[in-house]
């Protein structure tokens, strides 16, 4: 055997792995990285505000830094802030997160901010700058942190604090990186617009590198009900997870373990599962052997009497907020939205919402414009492979009175503690049959409302056209009447009748007889 044939083995740290595979998290090139950085920081800002009943005020600045290729992205929020002890790891250690609990959040991989920090470090060579203060804190803390790639640990380049003179709380994060503004501009604008649609309760201010300022002013004060943390549902748990839970639990017996650590499991259900698995309910969960855990998992899978997971811990947006968002940003003539009841796939509860907007300032297109969201995050890439696109494209819109090209936009929002994303880039949702069905039911429901509106409008139009046809006879009618009744003030009568027809048309949102006459010609 030659020396060259000997392989050298070692493990990669998460930082090294993502350093080599940054495209997995959406950081594939300078354009994409700039977009992804803006996005990850905004998502963190929103998680820190609306999930805690704070009306978000978010300021985003993308600035050119010296050379053409370099930029800084700064996102400031009025959220709950970050305790200073956690700042270094939150920004300098991959896979460090406060969101590794079963709760619906925008973040979920403990990667977003760090990937931006890592990319910035690789391209611009600068640490991330964080300024933060929690609600009760009397001080404001500032940090400069970079990532030690080899060991996946943070290094604090600089830190300090000063006393807080105002009530300010929140976080400001600045990342320097190589970007490509021209190639990411339209995506970033689209992302902000779509964020404004789903979060019309937020004030969002954006300053771009050209000095343009875009302001999405809050248009509704209502906030979605925040998500709550839940225990896992037994049907959503696999072998490894069950093993980990059994070794971590404080419960002394198998029965208590199932009752305490899972949702939808009471004493009766716990005993049924345990007996189906052929185990002793008094057994300590810590003493479970591999094959016993397997039996437990199988027993859970086979049990069809376990109550399905409830969705009351999920934070949906609600029809009122969706309609307000669509109205404020798209300025359509018609909107409708619906929130479906919670449903379940593979042990995970989810809720689908749909909105529809028609006419007004929406530009006609050959198929419906689709706005996709998952846990309130707009999804922009990979639309073609997303389950929502598939559903929208299989619907025969003629049934709903729409013929293309038409000014039609459809919004689909899926919320869940486990959205079936296709990758860690969080860009498209897989076609899970249960989810697909709910999307279709939601979209068809708002589409039916659109149909009612369009039919009513069509009826009114026909009525208007009839009125116009009759209006033409007014002068002749008045002349004939005069012959019969004698002294009629012709002008007055004619004016009066026209006025009445006009009033009727206005009520139908048609401007005047003239407009209809013109439209008819």
Residues near ligand ADP (CB under 6 A) are 40, 44-45, 48, 77, 79-80, 82, 90, 97-99, 107-114, 171
Q: Which of the choices Mg ion, ligand ADP, none does residue 98 contact, using the CB cut-off of 5 to 8 A by kind?
A: ligand ADP
Query: What is the rounded distance in angstroms from the CA atom of residue 431 to the CA atom of residue 111?
Result: 25
Q: Which of the choices ligand ADP, Mg ion, none does residue 357 contact, using the CB cut-off of 5 to 8 A by kind?
A: none
Q: Where are the alpha helices (DSSP H) in 304-356?
A: 319-330
463: CB partners within 8 A, 6+ apart: 508
Among 15, 36, 44, 343, binds Mg ion (CB under 5 A): 44
Q: Which of the choices ligand ADP, Mg ion, none does residue 45 contact, using the CB cut-off of 5 to 8 A by kind?
A: ligand ADP
Q: Which two tokens stand for residue 511?
A: 């401007």
DSSP state of 493: H
Q: Which two tokens stand for residue 496?
A: 């009066």
Q: Which residue is nearest to ligand ADP (CB)?
A: 107
| Binding window for Mg ion (CB under 5 A); candidates: 43-51, 61-69, 385-393, 417-425 | 43-51
Q: Which is nearer to ligand ADP, 120 or 285 (CB)?
A: 120
Q: Which is nearer to ligand ADP, 110 or 154 (CB)?
A: 110
Site string for Mg ion, 62-101 (x = CB under 5 A): ----------------------------------------
Q: Which of 366, 342, 368, 372 is nearest to 354 (CA)?
A: 372
Query: What is the rounded distance in angstroms from the CA atom of residue 91 to the CA atom of residue 131?
Result: 12
When asked if residue 26 is in the footprint of Mg ion (CB under 5 A), the reply is no
- String of b and e for 152-161 (b: at least 16 CB within 10 Å)? bbbeeeeeeb
Q: Which residue is nearest to Mg ion (CB)?
A: 107
Q: Which of 126, 128, 122, 124 is nearest to 40 (CA)?
A: 128
Q: Which of the choices Mg ion, ligand ADP, none does residue 114 contact, using the CB cut-off of 5 to 8 A by kind?
A: ligand ADP
DSSP state of 236: G
When asked if residue 107 is in the footprint of Mg ion (CB under 5 A), the reply is yes
- String of b and e for 275-301 (b: at least 16 CB within 10 Å)? eebebebebebeebeeebbebbbebbe
Q: Which is nearer to ligand ADP, 174 or 457 (CB)?
A: 174
Supply the minimum distance, in Å, between the C-beta of residue 510 and Mg ion: 50
Supply the minimum distance, in Å, between the C-beta of residue 79 and ligand ADP: 5
Residues that bind Mg ion (CB under 5 A): 44, 107, 112
């Amino acid at each position: 055997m030659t020396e060259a044939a000997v392989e050298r083995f070692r493990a990669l740290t998460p930082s090294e792995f993502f350093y080599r595979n940054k495209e997995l998290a959406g950081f594939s090139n300078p354009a994409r990285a700039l977009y992804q950085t803006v996005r990850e920081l905004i998502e963190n800002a929103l998680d820190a505000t609306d999930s805690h009943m704070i009306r978000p005020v978010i300021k985003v600045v993308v600035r050119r830094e010296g050379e053409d290729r370099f930029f800084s992205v700064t996102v400031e929020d009025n959220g709950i802030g970050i305790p200073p002890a956690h700042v270094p790891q939150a920004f300098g250690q991959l896979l460090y997160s406060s969101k590794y609990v079963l709760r619906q959040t925008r973040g979920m991989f403990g990667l977003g901010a760090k990937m931006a920090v890592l990319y910035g470090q690789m391209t611009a060579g600068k640490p991330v700058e964080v300024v933060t203060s929690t609600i009760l804190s009397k001080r404001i803390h500032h940090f400069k942190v970079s990532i030690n790639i080899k060991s996946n640990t943070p290094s604090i380049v600089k830190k300090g604090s000063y006393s807080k003179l105002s009530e300010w709380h929140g976080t400001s994060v600045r990342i320097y990186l190589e970007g490509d503004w021209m190639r990411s501009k339209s995506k970033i604008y689209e992302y902000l617009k779509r964020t404004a649609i789903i979060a019309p309760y937020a004030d969002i201010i954006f300053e771009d590198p050209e000095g343009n300022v875009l302001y999405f002013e809050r248009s509704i004060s209502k906030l979605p009900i925040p998500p709550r943390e839940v225990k896992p549902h037994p049907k959503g748990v696999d072998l490894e997870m069950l093993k980990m839970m059994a070794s971590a639990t404080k419960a002394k017996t198998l029965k208590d373990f199932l009752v305490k650590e899972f949702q939808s499991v009471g004493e009766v259900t716990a005993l049924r599962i345990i007996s189906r698995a052929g185990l002793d309910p008094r057994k300590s969960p810590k003493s479970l052997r591999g094959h016993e855990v397997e039996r437990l998992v199988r027993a859970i899978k086979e049990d069809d009497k376990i109550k399905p997971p409830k969705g009351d811990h999920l934070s949906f947006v609600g029809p009122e907020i969706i309609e307000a968002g669509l109205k404020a940003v798209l300025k359509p003539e018609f909107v409708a939205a619906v929130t479906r009841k919670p449903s379940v796939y593979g042990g995970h509860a989810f809720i689908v919402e749909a909105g529809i907007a028609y006419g007004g300032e929406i530009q006609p297109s050959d198929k419906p414009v689709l706005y996709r969201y998952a846990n309130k995050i707009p999804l922009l890439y990979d639309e073609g492979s997303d389950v929502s696109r598939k559903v929208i494209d299989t619907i025969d819109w003629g049934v709903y009175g729409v013929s293309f090209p038409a000014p039609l936009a459809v919004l689909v929002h899926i919320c869940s503690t486990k959205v079936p994303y296709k990758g860690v880039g969080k860009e498209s949702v897989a076609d899970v049959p249960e989810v697909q069905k709910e999307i279709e039911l939601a979209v068809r429901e708002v589409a039916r409302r659109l149909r009612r509106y369009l039919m009513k409008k069509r009826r009114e139009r026909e009525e208007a056209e009839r009125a116009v046809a009759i209006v033409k006879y007014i002068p002749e009618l008045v002349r004939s009447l005069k012959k019969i009744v004698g002294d009629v003030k012709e002008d007055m009568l004619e004016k009066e009748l026209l006025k009445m027809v006009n009033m009727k048309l206005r009520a139908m949102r048609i401007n005047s007889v003239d407009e209809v006459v013109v439209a008819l010609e």
